[in-house]
Amino acid sequence: MPDLPPSDAMDQRPTESQEQGFAHEDGPETFLDSDCGKTGCSLVARGSAILAEIFRLSNHIPDVFLFNKVATTKGKQTQFTYISAEGKSLTPEEVRIRFFEHEKYLQILFSYDYIQNKEAYDEKIKSNMEVYDMDQGFQDSYMEIIDRFYNLFESIYVFWVDTNQYISDIMDGRHIDYTMEAMLLDKEGKRLIIETVYHYGVMLLLLDRLIPSIARERIVTCYVRYKDTALTERTQKVAKLCKSTGYLYNRSTNTEEIPDKYPCDYYNRFKLRPQLIETLINAMKDDDIYDMIGVFGNKPQYRSVALSMQA
């Protein structure tokens, strides 16, 4: 199992002293000095940490989570086909070279079928002492990385919860100083809300692209087996987030298979307010969010080029 790089604080809320550090020492209060601005800055910082963790962990997925063995029966003969995380069939030579040491663990690695039939799967493992000992050894060897991946998945779900709460607080008037309309009129406020939503969308796409669904489902199932046997509501939400979308990406050829209605169905699992999304898209289409028009000399013929970088 590869050594993991250190992680960032993906879901830590700022302390009171850290929040006070956002404020300017002199001058009138700006949006970023307000509670609304501080909360938004915290969300964007957490989003950046989560994206960095996705990139880090995507390069440290153990091979044992990245292939499957499928049995097909023709008459009285049973044939086995090995399928990679990219959805392609593996030759016996590829399996022998890359996955020979890991094939035995397929007896204890399950998809979400395990969650529906926990007792049956657990009994099957416990009834065979050799498989049971192998399962204990697997837990000892891989629990650290399983925890690390699961914490990443959970942090994405928590980010969605907190982002939804932040948007609801603004739109329901809980932040006295700023309504959503006032926030979108403020240059820093507009940037902040756009970047918060952007971070969430990119999280989902990168998660699906860089950490294959077969690995996500197996890791979540392992976590449930070894740590969360009661299957809490939060773990069920994380499992839903990580469930396969049907999307496949092949790193070696840089090709992808995109299912129908993707990524709309994916986003709808845990969606943000559609009206807000439409408003932000219109703002990015029409407004100079990052003051780029001035860089191009305020010339009309360069407006499309200036705004293209915020698309």
Q: Return the pLDDT at 40.
A: 93
The fraction of the chain above a pLDDT of 90, given in percent, is 46
Q: Return the pLDDT at 8.
A: 65
pLDDT tens sequence across 92-128:
777 777 777 777 888 899 889 888 888 899 999 999 9
| Alpha-carbon distance values, 23 to 2, 12, 34, 40, 57 (Å) | 42, 20, 8, 14, 34
Neighbours of 27 (CB within 10 A): 7
**Sheet strand arrangement including 77-84:** 67-74, 77-84, 89-90
Is 202:159 a contact under the CB 8 Å cutoff?
no
Q: Return the pLDDT at 84.
A: 72
Band (pLDDT 50/70/90 cuts) for residue 260 is very high
User: Residue ranges of the alpha helices (H) in 229-308?
Assistant: 233-242, 264-267, 274-286, 303-308
Higher pLDDT, 192 or 310: 192
Distance between CA atoms of residues 53 and 127, nearest Å: 38
| Alpha-carbon distance values, 94 to 67, 101, 248 (Å) | 11, 12, 20
Mean pLDDT of 258-285: 92
* Predicted model pTM: 0.85
